[in-house]
Structure formats: C-alpha cells, structure tokens
Amino acid sequence: MKGFLGTRADFFSDLLILALIVILPALVTAILFAVKKRYLPHKRMMLTIFTVLVLYVIVYETNLTILGGVNYLTTNTRVQLVPYMALVVFHIVQSAMALVLGGATISRGRAALSSGQVSREGVVSVHRKIAWVEVGMLVISVVTGLVIYYLTFVY
C-alpha cells in the first residue's frame, strides 16, 4: 500500500518513520525528568520508549520481510549499493547493540532506584554511567534510520 508522506515509501515505512521522529523529543523529556530527579516519570517514560522501540523493530522487520526483505530497499534506492549497504548494516548492528545495552540500563536503573544509590558527590551510579552511552546509541539509531529512509525513498 502506498505511503502518505508523498515519497516512494509504503504505508508502514511512513508510519514507522513518524514514530521515529516522535521518539527524539520523548527521549529528551525523559532525560530532563531524571536531571530534575523526578525518577518515577523518568522510569515510566523510558520504559514506554523502550517498549515502543522493541515493537517498532518487530513491525518494521515483519513489514520488510513481507515486501521482499533487503531487496525491497535496494531496488528503491538510487544510491550506490556498497555505501548504502554499509550504512544499513551499521544501522542494524548498532541498533541491536542499543537494544541489548537498553536492557542493562533498565536493570541498573531499577537497582539504583530500589537501593536509593543514586549519584552523589564523588560517586556515579552504574546506571548513570551506561545511560549516557545508551542515549548516544539511541540517537545514532534514530538518525541513521531517518537517513536510510531519506536515501531509500526520497533521494
């Protein structure tokens, strides 16, 4: 089914790209809650974002498989195959790593919250240390996802 954003994309690719665009401001809001020490809304929002991202991967992969897998992408793009595939593989590997680290970040966040061992003068919790790496990885995943959409269906 044709998409609704006026590009060469199908309906689900358009829907999913909108979801990706919403994730970034949601991530900033959830981090601001943590910075302001409002850990309950931080926790709820991060868990929601993480759940949406996992569902996103499932819907995206199902849609892509139905449409013909990676062939669907390579026949749509006008970019040279080697740099295009290098970007796609980088995006997939780094996003998979972000999901794994996300699980660890959530588990350490729970530990920090339940033990009350949040960072203080001279001590930085494990959650805070890995959370900033996780934030960076999530941003890279979203940005490379947007670039791939552009190179596949717009450029």
What residue ranges bind ligand HEM (CB under 6 A)? 31, 34-35, 39, 42-43, 46-47, 50, 102, 105-106, 109-110, 112-113, 118-119, 125, 127-128, 131-132, 134-135
In the numeric block, the tokens 């960076």 are attached to 136
| Residue 27 Cβ vs ligand HEM, minimum distance, rounded to whole Å | 7
| Residue 132 Cβ vs ligand HEM, minimum distance, rounded to whole Å | 5
d(CA 109, CA 19): 25
The CA-CA-CA angle for residues 136, 155, 52, to 5°, reads 40
d(CA 12, CA 2): 9
d(CA 72, CA 61): 12
Q: Residue 9 or 131: which CB sits closer to ligand HEM?
A: 131
| Residue 121 Cβ vs ligand HEM, minimum distance, rounded to whole Å | 12
| Residue 96 Cβ vs ligand HEM, minimum distance, rounded to whole Å | 15
Q: Residue 82 or 120: which CB sits closer to ligand HEM?
A: 120
Adjacent-strand bridge partners of 2: 10
